[in-house]
Structure 1
Amino acid sequence: MDDRLRDLQNERKNYKKVLYRYLIILSIGINIIGVELVPILNIPTFLNAIGTILAGVLMGPFIGTLVGFLTSIILGFFIDPGYFYFTFVSILVGFIAGYIFKEYPFNIKTVISASIFISVITAIVGNTISYMAFGGVAGDQIDKITHILIESGFNIFLAVNITGFFANFLDKLLSFALVFLVIIIMDSQMDMQDFQIRWKSKL
């Protein structure tokens, strides 16, 4: 009996390892697809952290951190070296999202609060990096807003910060909304006990 129980526990652990491995790859892929969609959709946002948030919520802060880190490295090598500079921002997103939903239940109230909190933190850090490393340049769609503000009389520092806060807030709201929908779908198809999420059926 003990041997059978031990075998079942080992099978569960192995299943979880494989599941997490595939979800990490999927999360990174979602981030890359999000980045590629931005110029197509022509929206002033990033969409490079959807998978990072998903990984953090489902698998914890350290795996969220790992996904954020790997995403920035891959994007930096294959799409734009500028992503290297924002690696710390991606790491923050994964860690904070993972920590929040490790401590608090996954529901609409926490999702909205987390999206606001993370958008403020990433805006402060991201704006500082953008201003110091690139003189405020952050991306084609986002730069359009910065240029409009500058032409309206704002100095570049203020324009970069206003644009950054707006873009980060929109980005995190969209990202968390998509993650929210994905997890609802997963909950109807899978056993959520395999994940760290503190799930509440009443959203």
Structure 2
Amino acid sequence: MRKFSTNKLCLLALCSVINLIGGHIALLFRLPVYLDSLGTVFAAALMGPLSGMIPGIISNLIGGVTTDIYALYYLPVQMITGGIAGLLFQKISFHDRKRLIKILLGAGIVSIPGTVISSSITAIVFGGITSSGSTLLVQLLHHLGLGLTASVCIVQGLTDYADRAIVLALTVALLAVVPSSIKIAADKEKSHGKV
């Protein structure tokens, strides 16, 4: 049986709330990015891939039940984002002069698998129309003569990449200001296999 420390539970809860707040900000202002995975990526960077999946699951369940039913359908995307971001932060250090290049490349690595799944969900389940600001871009491309699936894939790819680049940059900035005691506690739990 895996154990959750109090610190880890608090961090995962905080990351879930960060996801909810980011998603609500993007919905409120109809931004063409989602901002609902900052907590997911931050948890993944700090505590590893499995822990990175937890805030996405929690925030999508809460958001889907309370304010945005569409969030429930995109739960697999959050899980994939958390898992891949956790692996990315285990393999790549973002603390050198090539940080911007690594963030831009990392955004592609993190966004591609999620884009395949999210664009499929958007096109097949919702016919290209969701609650996000990117729906306007999908409809514009579709009315200009591009097929619905192609419109969804193009817009989803661009918006997912932009979203992940923003989220990775914010995560790197947050990691720079997180107290070392929290980083040490997270590393100890990763090395002992606790989740």
Shorter-chain TM-score bucket reads 0.7 to 0.9
Identity of aligned residues (%): 22
Does residue 195 (structure 1) correspond to residue 186 (structure 2)? The answer is yes
What's the CA shift string for 1:53-97, capped at 9, x where partnerless? 000000111111112111211111111222111111110011111
Contact 2:27/2:131 (8 A) holds in 1: no
Instruction: Give the stretch that moved more between structures: 49-58 or 146-155.
Output: 146-155
Correspondence for 2:134: 142
Distance 2:168 2:85 in 1: 10
Listed as ranges, the gaps of 5+ residues in structure 1 are 1-13, 198-203
Correspondence for 2:70: 82
Correspondence for 1:55: 43
Tell me which of 144, 150, 156 is aligned to 1:164: 156
Correspondence for 1:34: 22
Give the structure-1-normalised TM-score. Answer: 0.82
**Amino acid across the alignment from 1:78:** T
Does residue 174 (structure 1) correspond to residue 166 (structure 2)? The answer is yes
Give the structure-2-normalised TM-score. Answer: 0.85
Alignment: residue pair count: 181
CA RMSD of aligned residues (A): 2.0
Correspondence for 1:91: 79
Tell me which of 69, 86, 90 is aligned to 1:102: 90
Listed as ranges, the gaps of 5+ residues in structure 2 are 189-195
- TM-superposed CA distance for 1:139, in Å, is 2.5
Contact 1:57/1:196 (8 A) holds in 2: no
